[in-house]
Chains A and B, each alone.
Chain A
Amino acid sequence: MSLPEQRPLAEVEGIKAASHRLRGTIGGGLRDEATGAIADADTQLTKFHGIYQQDDRDLRTERQQQRLEPAHSFMVRVRVPGGVCSAPQWLAMDRLARTHANGTLRLTTRQAFQFHGVIKRRLKPTIAAINEALLDTIAACGDVNRNVMSSPNPELSGLHQESWQLACQISERLTPRTRAYHEIWLDGEKLPDSGAEAEPLYGPTYLPRKFKIGIAVPPWNDVDVFTQDLGFIAISEQGRLAGFNVVVGGGMGATHGEPDTYPRLGDVIGFCTPEQAVNVAWQVVAIQRDFGDRSNRKHARFKYTIADRGLDWFNAELAGRLGHALAPARAFRFLSSGDRYGWSKGLDGRWHLTLHVPSGRLADAPGRTLLSGLRDIALLHGGRFRLTPNQNVIVAGVRAADKRRIEAVARRHGLMHDQLPSALRREALSCVALPTCALAMAEAERYLPDLAGKLEVRLAALDLLDAPITLRVTGCPNGCARPYVAEIALVGKGPGRYNLFLGGSFSGVRLNRLALENVDEDTILAALEPLLAAYARERLPGERFGDFLHRSGGLSGATEVERKQA
């Protein structure tokens, strides 16, 4: 292949290169008591440690007038491969949320825990407590492989079990080798090679941009496998895992007004055996390390490497590095990207209860004490918890005898899905956005309940309250809540203004389309009302809203994935 154009490297590349394997001056910055912030360059490096510096944007102007620095705090993301954790770990996270963060615990769309509002002097104790709970925040953010997702409950089937094991193996193999994390946060001892540790996969500048891996178990596409940089689709034959279809080049992020940036669904490029999968992941990441764009961070995701160079080039490059070509892809079919709420029974006869957590935010509000509810369940249950890619939680491995008690607690705290007014609300996702996310242009998590309420009035009139429709709201186009595959998506453009996207598929195999640009709520509701009315009137049995829009309106045309799946 030809060399990439000689353009200046992005500033972050220089910061990484000079960081002594992600140390920078973080240690000194933590000791500086005159500011709640750390040095600008270090804010790029802490991401690799799972820590984002943020500030309360609601208070920004006010504090500026008060001659105070912004109300800085940190978001801390815990790496939880496949979203699997124990009750003691849950209780440890619950305690930290109350004592070290802002009293809430957030479940992310990548099956991780997130703490918000951790002030600087509580950072080290927070990381130490996470470490004591046998979890960590390494590589939860930053230009590395992020938390590896897998279809949530390993106890549901052998396929789920093996997919989760693969997620753990990939997570382990793709974790950076620098000991910076242990030295800075856990007072780990400095060794002679500190600052120059070998990084066999990443090298001194790590990846050009973040990298996301997810493993789906059909017919459930809850991990939104086509939105991952690298996806694995579990293929079963006679009830046993045969291997995985490999999906490359998906990604959600885009930038308003830059047509060179766009969401992209991954391409299914072949099939690998379970034994080959970790090496496939390693080599795909290595290709992105070597060929990804390091000059323009908005164009640095793996999907652009694939789109710019083509699948033929990529398949040849991968085959060269693997020493063999991938086998042809196997058939698969997805039905849903949502969660299966309520009780389900696993292979071992244990029961699993999927609870709904609006926008993944566990907090105690009057009448809805979700955080305390899950703590009570953890104390009672003593078993396991599974975080889902839809920001929900599964209480896993419950004995039949305990079902009633656990459900009673869940119901008392408002955690049961049937306590929600609509199926729309159940299927809704949103990112954090304001007030903490620095990228947000509009409200998301704080706005979703209002918007859902207004839509419910219309759905009720149309007798559609039970129709599952995916609604996703994000505060900016970067796509943390995977908006571009939703049936209805609002992508923040400015305060109170959104781009409206329509027509994704319920199973996450088709991108939606931009329907309206930079519009307010009234315009959005006015646009949706006739579409929902037509859907209520004219839908075929079992037909989803997104599919209906394609069949009936101007959103027709199957995508590549749909064709491959069919």
Chain B
Amino acid sequence: MTEALQKLPVSPLAEESLARLRAAAAGYSAEQLVWASGYLAGLAAAGTGLAAAGTVTPAPAQAADPGTRLTILYGSQTGNGRAVASQLAAAAERRGVAAELISMADFPTARLKREQLLAIVVSTHGEGDPPDDAMELHRFVSGRRLPALDALGYWVLALGDSSYENFCQTGRDFDDRLAAAGAKRIAPLVECDLDYAPAAEAWSSQVLDEAEARLGRQAQHPAGPQLRVVPPAPRFTRHAPFAASLLVNQRITARDSSKDVRHIELDLEGSGLRWEPGDSLGVVIRNPDRVVDPLLEALGLPGDASPIPGGPTLREALVDQRDITGLNRGFLEAWAAAEPTGELAARLESLRGAGLGRWMQARHVVDVVREFPAEIEAARFLEMLRPLAPRLYSIASAAEFADEEIHLTVSLLHYEAFGTAHWGAGSSWLALDRGDGDTVPVYVEPNERFRLPADDAPIIMIGPGTGVAPFRAFLQARAARGATGRNWLWFGDRNFASDFLYQAEWLRYRKQGLLDRLDVAFSRDQAEKRYVQHRMLEQAGELYRWLDEGAHLYVCGDASAMAPDVDRALREIIAGATNSDEDGVENYLAELRRNGRYQRDVY
């Protein structure tokens, strides 16, 4: 590893400084070196506004002429899109293909007409919405001001979740609009589901091959001062999670609540896992028997037989290999093809564009199997299902508070529908099947798009329901650091008496002066439903004053209703306070987003 240091291109460090760095690094193990690289990256990002970990700094010559290289443009909410784009950028560099990695949030719209080779990675959220960092560019591309783009060749990789009706819609929008503006689609749009990795890799290598053919390979790395930052490779991943043991599984809604929400504490001792407030914890779950049994029964297939000789039994495969609860289009289409009466196909056809999303949301795989019976072989059935995805939960504790344990806030999904009980696979496995000392395989899923600002900046946190989880981490971190910025928390749920998650902690923080304001909305405590957005409008003047004083605003929680409602309220507040029209409000919000002052983690 020391050798690698010596091979750095032209060093920006004076000889003496470089010698000191070499001397310090000489004693490090491989693991320590990886950690140190991340540390230095953090210093660079914080101190100089240089590249954050994982980005490649564009050389000045490249920035001057976007025509001579590949521009990798990403829009990402949860970090997957950013990860794919970063990997593409890293691969380009390895192959000597000139490339620039840039977030849609940082991409001036006017630059689009100067681009010649553009690889777009963009995800879709909720009901076909773009991620926050893509909003401005998406709006520009969708609007009438989009110029002719005759010189542009492009690819689009769309990420999404096929359990939503408007799956990959944002990617489709970019693909359609660029083509409509005269740009050349080099290869057809690629749509990825939750298990995006294989498709994304294939797409990336195709992009690189074509880019190399067009741009050629650079003889050597571009000259000029450049600090190459290697992100520390996570030690634990979804494929190799850390086996945390459960310390606490405590219900935190009162006994008469309509909900069962759990506060979960996991022991990380010895893992070395690191996280920042705002990150999520990936939990590699197993499908509980309460979900597997009814499915096996509905299928009428024996659970103890192995579909593939020598492989796992059907039950085993359903327990820890396949996603068997939520529906997605791939499964529905495959099942419809296998279903002999054609009823499901007809139903899907009739629902297309008219409530298919809601229809899918209400049902699990087992409901389709029951309602539209089909004779099917076990192996074929397994193929129809998506791989079992880890479940992501916002981390509810800060390392500054306790670095050897990690807290989650998990709402148990349980409802009766179509004559049977429906359980969330991940939430019921965690809440009901994991007790003291049980193992929970986990890894950290960073979320660079949900980060605390400087310690002296005020923050407004809007986190109804379990959306409040990351703000617990935020406040713990701010308390531990002695951060001076003011803190304003908004919480909402159904009933004050039973559903006020972590109420005692917020009240303590308020008493201690850490929490400057604590505002709440409980929807079912009065005749008319009252939500956080209604209370925000009541506090419009004060909210705007905070924004005007530089507050960073965070929204976490439900993406389907809450986040859009809060966004609308925010627009109304800004419109009222600044006396601006829709464009003015949009510009105001775009400015906030550009400066990281309007961050959302919605799901």
Contacts and interface: CB of A to CB of B under 8 A. Distances in A.
A34 B263 CA distance: 20
Given A33-B520, A34-B518, A34-B520, A67 B502 contact: yes
B503 A67 contact: yes
Contact of B504 (A59, A64, A119): A64
A134 to B, nearest CB: 28
A66 B520 contact: no
Given A33-B496, A34-B518, A66 B507 contact: no
Given A66-B252, A66-B254, A36 B497 contact: yes
Contacts of A68: 252, 254, 498, 500, 503-504
B507 A65 contact: no
Contacts of B503: 34-35, 67-69
A434 to B, nearest CB: 18
Contacts of A59: 254-255
A340 interface: no
Nearest to A68: B503
A contacts with B: majority SS: loop
Nearest to A72: B497
A71 interface: yes
B510 A34 contact: yes
A200 B279 CA distance: 64
B253 interface: yes
A68 B493 CA distance: 14
Contacts of B498: 68
A463 interface: no
Interface string B492-512: 000011101111111100100
B507 A67 contact: no
Nearest to A120: B496
A71 B497 contact: yes
Given A33-B520, A34-B518, A62-B255, A69 B496 contact: no
Interface in A69-111: 69, 71
Interface in A23-68: 33-36, 59, 62-68
How extensive is the interface on chain A, given as a class? 10 to 19
Contacts of B254: 59, 62-63, 66, 68, 71
A549 B364 CA distance: 75
A137 to B, nearest CB: 23
How extensive is the interface on chain B, given as a class? 20 to 34
Contact of B250 (A33, A34, A66, A121): A66
Nearest to A62: B255
A121 B522 CA distance: 12
A34 B251 contact: no
A412 to B, nearest CB: 32
Nearest to B491: A34
Given A67-B505, A69-B507, A121-B525, A36 B496 contact: yes
A66 B254 CA distance: 7
B246 to A, nearest CB: 16
Given A66-B250, A68-B252, A121-B525, A35 B497 contact: no
Q: Which of A36, A59, A69 has the most CB of B within 10 A?
A: A69
Contacts of A63: 254
Nearest to A63: B254
A67 B252 contact: yes
A34 B504 contact: no
Contacts of B250: 65-67
B contacts with A: majority SS: mixed
Interface string B239-272: 0000000000011111100000001000000000
A36 B518 CA distance: 14
A35 B520 CA distance: 10
A71 B510 CA distance: 19
B496 A66 contact: no
Contacts of B497: 36, 71, 119
Contacts of A62: 254-255
Contact of A34 (B252, B255, B501, B507): B507
A66 B525 contact: no
Interface in B468-510: 496-498, 500-507, 510
B253 A66 contact: yes
Contacts of B504: 64, 67-69
Nearest to B257: A66
B399 to A, nearest CB: 20
Interface in A128-168: none
A36 B520 CA distance: 12
A55 to B, nearest CB: 11
A34 B525 contact: no
Contacts of A71: 254, 497
Nearest to B261: A66
Interface in B385-419: none
Nearest to A34: B518
A64 B502 CA distance: 10
A64 B507 CA distance: 13
A69 B510 CA distance: 13
Contacts of A33: 496, 519-520
Q: Which of B255, B498, B504, B525 has the most CB of A within 10 A?
A: B504
A62 B498 CA distance: 12
Contacts of B525: 121
Nearest to B506: A34
A125 to B, nearest CB: 12
Interface in A108-130: 119, 121
A33 B498 CA distance: 14
Contacts of B255: 59, 62
Interface string A5-35: 0000000000000000000000000000111
A59 B525 CA distance: 20
Interface in A359-390: none
Nearest to B248: A65
B534 to A, nearest CB: 13
Nearest to A35: B507
Contacts of A65: 250
A133 B250 CA distance: 46
A64 B503 CA distance: 10
Contacts of A34: 500, 503, 506-507, 510, 518-520
A71 B495 CA distance: 13
Interface string A533-560: 0000000000000000000000000000
A34 B250 CA distance: 22
A33 B503 CA distance: 11
A69 B499 CA distance: 11
Contact of A66 (B251, B506, B519): B251
Nearest to A64: B504
Interface in B43-80: none
A97 B518 CA distance: 31
A260 B254 CA distance: 43
Contacts of A67: 250, 252, 263, 501-505
A65 B250 CA distance: 7
Interface string B512-526: 000000111000010
Interface of A: 33-36, 59, 62-69, 71, 119, 121
Given A34-B507, A35-B507, A69-B500, 18 more contacts: A33-B519, A34-B500, A34-B503, A34-B506, A34-B510, A34-B518, A35-B503, A64-B504, A66-B252, A67-B250, A67-B503, A67-B504, A67-B505, A68-B252, A68-B503, A69-B507, A71-B254, A121-B525
Interface of B: 250-255, 263, 496-498, 500-507, 510, 518-520, 525
17 contacts: A33-B519, A34-B503, A34-B507, A34-B510, A34-B518, A34-B520, A35-B503, A59-B254, A63-B254, A64-B504, A66-B251, A67-B503, A67-B505, A68-B252, A68-B500, A69-B500, A119-B497
The 3 A-B residue pairs with the shortest CB-CB distance in the complex, in nearest-first order: A34-B518, A66-B252, A67-B504
